[in-house]
Chains A and B, each alone.
Chain A
Amino acid sequence: MTAPLVDIADLVCIHGSGADSLRAVDGVSLRLEAGQTLGLVGESGCGKSTLARAVAGLMAPSGGAVRIEGRDWPTRTVAQRRARARLVQMVFQDPFGSLNPRLSVARIVAEPLAVHGIGPEAVRQRRVAALLDRVGLTEEQGRRYPHELSGGQRQRVAIARALALEPRILVCDEPVSALDVSIQAQVLNLLADLQREMGLAYLFISHDLGVIRYVADRIAVMYLGRIVEEGSSDAVWSTPRHPYTRALIAAIPGAGRLADSRPTLPAPGGRAAGDEGCRFRPRCPVAVARCAQEEPGLIGLSGSHAAACWVAGPPG
């Protein structure tokens, strides 16, 4: 059996220290196969962006490992960070905040090539021109500055820059959340085309299960630092087993009139120190006694579909 492209093993990421520390990622194991999309969905504060940064090598994990191509990629030295950057790149939600406003679009896309010392200037220019063309930007737009572009065009610039080093993996953190629907479709289609042509693997993060369902081969649902359900996109969407996944699906507006679908989830609650039980229990409509005593890990259901729930059980 070959190792997956990305193997996240019992990853722990802690923000801060001492009494104020927060276990943003609290023991997550996930795999991403080459050329595939793993969709990670969850609400604000669930730790999905921290997980994204750890996979991209922008944050050192506090425990566990992110293995890529079967090995660890430490990020202690500049050379190590560069090696990792050539494998994994990141696309953020707000391209305006992640693009240098004083550089032209072409310079922004060329920068990773310059930093990594790739080719003489002429080679870099040809590469930049090809990248801009590939993401649907004109040569003229390459001479503009970020503020002169629309939100969708800026996200194309961010994608072109991320592709400059020809990575195998793109970590996309809410890449279309700030965009209008018509522009969102352009960017999602572009990402799909790039994946097919370049064999890219995506870790695609969103709060929007509709978008995740559209892009992902597999879906992982994250809640307060843990994966509570994981499976093929079809399995998680069609037969969600964890009560949190069910609530997320039920909450998508447009499925029906409000009068027919009263929300069932009480407000989110924190987790008291020393609480050994399931972290979803305070909001859970189906919790039983065992849920207060012992936190469930991912329990296999059918095929490769798993849920961290004592009640879910196998479908049937």
Chain B
Amino acid sequence: MSGPLLSLEGLTVALSDGVPLVRGLDLAIARGEVLAVVGESGCGKSMTALAVMGLLPDGIRIAGGALRFDGTDLGGLSRKRLRDLRGRRIAMIFQEPMTSLNPVLSIGEQVAEVVLGHERVSRRAAWDRAREMLERVRLPNAAGRLHAYPHQLSGGQRQRVMIAAALACGPELIIADEPTTALDVTIQAEILHLLDELRRERGLALMLITHDLGVVATMADRVAVMYAGRKIEEGPVAAVLSAPLNPYTRLLMAARPDPARGRATRLVEIPGAVPSPRAMPPGCAFAPRCPEARAACRAAVPAWVVPGGEAGGDAGADAGQPHGVACVLHAAPTPPGGRG
């Protein structure tokens, strides 16, 4: 059995003064798998993506842990090797294509530049690839619009251009940070469908960062739920959404307006707000908002446990995919000796 394509081992991302934004995060994505990373603002999901891509903003850095891609520790690679890896084998799609596309380059150039930056090919070949990719993402009249500029396209079309640029060098992993959040719902459905089609066709792994549990249910194989910089639950999508183990996951689901229920029910509120990274409560960061909190929650950060055992309690296709949680409600009766 081959190892994961991407693994994060105890990843910690911090401000320059040491205040952590992501705390000891373990995540792994297999080839061809869709892992959703879900959480609210400030949970660290975007910082995680930027850390993998080497795009952390000034003043924020990786302060601990390791990133491995296809077995190689990224920390041991030269800048040149890293730059080659990111963009060619790992590509990223952002929420707002208008700010991540270069406004003064035509869309053909944007995609061709990616190819020229990573492969020894002629300009002609790079432009051919650009046209092919823009046609593949079904940009209407792609061949005739290679010289169009981003501002001449709609939001959904710009997102297609960004996907074409991400695909241009045949990546094995795409990290998509809220790729459809800025789009209208009918356009969102088309873009999600395109991403799903492309990853099936190319065997891509997808790390999908989103706040939307509907998108998770539609797209992902597994989901990791983050809160205040830590992973608080992870497992197969069906298991996590049908039987969430962490009260936060459960409340996050209950807080969504469910169209099927109409107005009859009052929405479940999660009182308070996400804590600031500079004012993290002791123990479980969700405890101050959690209706099931008890003294133990404030005593220590809850350990990661897999209640059904590593083999998982789920039958069928999900067998073997553990459903884990960091919550004292599920803590092992004997003191845990493992990680965490």
Contacts and interface: CB of A to CB of B under 8 A. Distances in A.
A214 B259 CA distance: 6
Interface centre among B215, B261, B263, B271 (most CB of A within 10 A): B263
A256 interface: yes
Given A185-B268, A189-B266, A253 B273 contact: no
Interface stretch (B115-123, B186-194, B306-314): B186-194
**Interface residues of B toward A: which range?**
35 or more
A216 B217 CA distance: 25
B256 interface: yes
A209 B262 CA distance: 11
A156 B270 CA distance: 16
Contacts of A151: 41
A146 interface: no
A258 B192 contact: yes
Interface residues of A, number: 48
A186 interface: yes
Contact of B269 (A150, A189, A247, A265): A189
B255 A185 contact: yes
A130 interface: no
B144 interface: no
A182 B259 CA distance: 17
A182 B263 contact: no
Contact of A248 (B157, B185, B269): B185
Contacts, number: 128
A267 B192 CA distance: 14
Interface in A221-243: 233-234, 237
Contact of B190 (A150, A255, A263): A263
B267 interface: yes
Nearest to B217: A254
B188 A185 contact: no
B17 interface: no
Interface in B245-275: 251-252, 255-259, 261-263, 266-271, 273-274
Specify which of B216, B258, B269 lies most central, judged by the most chain A CB atoms within 10 Å of its CB.
B269
Contact of B188 (A213, A214, A251, A256): A251
Interface of B: 40-41, 140, 154-157, 184-190, 192-193, 196, 211-219, 251-252, 255-259, 261-263, 266-271, 273-274
8 nearest A-B residue pairs (beta carbon): A254-B214, A214-B257, A182-B270, A253-B214, A43-B184, A180-B40, A185-B255, A251-B189
Given A210-B257, A234-B262, 13 more contacts: A181-B213, A182-B40, A186-B269, A189-B269, A192-B266, A210-B256, A215-B257, A216-B263, A251-B185, A251-B189, A252-B259, A254-B213, A267-B154
17 contacts: A44-B184, A151-B41, A153-B273, A181-B256, A182-B270, A184-B255, A185-B270, A213-B257, A214-B257, A214-B262, A216-B263, A237-B262, A254-B213, A254-B216, A256-B218, A257-B218, A263-B189
